[in-house]
Amino acid sequence: MTNQLIDGSDHLGLERRDYRNLALTVAVMSMLFFAFIDGSVTTRLLTALVGGLIAGVVFVVVTVIINAYKPDHW
């Protein structure tokens, strides 16, 4: 895996900054879900986990699509 990241991207076309943004997105969305969901602590944790994972998957899909179709001058 280290050899794939030498040029700054991997097989999905994600760069290191994309992974940082992914981690921030998942963390922020999980915290928001946890803070705003009513219920027991277990319910809030499970909702935050599932919501964070869904936000992460959506982030990766959108980033891959943008990287595939963006103009060369970006």
Note the pLDDT of residue 7. Answer: 52
Phi, psi dihedral angles at 25 (to 5 degrees): -60, -50
Distance of CA 25 to the CA centre of its chain: 5
Between 1 and 50, the more confident residue is 50
Q: Which amino acid is at 27?
A: A
* pTM of the predicted model over 0.85: no
What are the pLDDT digits (tens) for 4-60?
Answer: 444 555 677 788 899 999 999 999 999 999 999 999 999 999 999 999 999 999 999
Cα distance between residue 24 and residue 18, in whole Å? 10
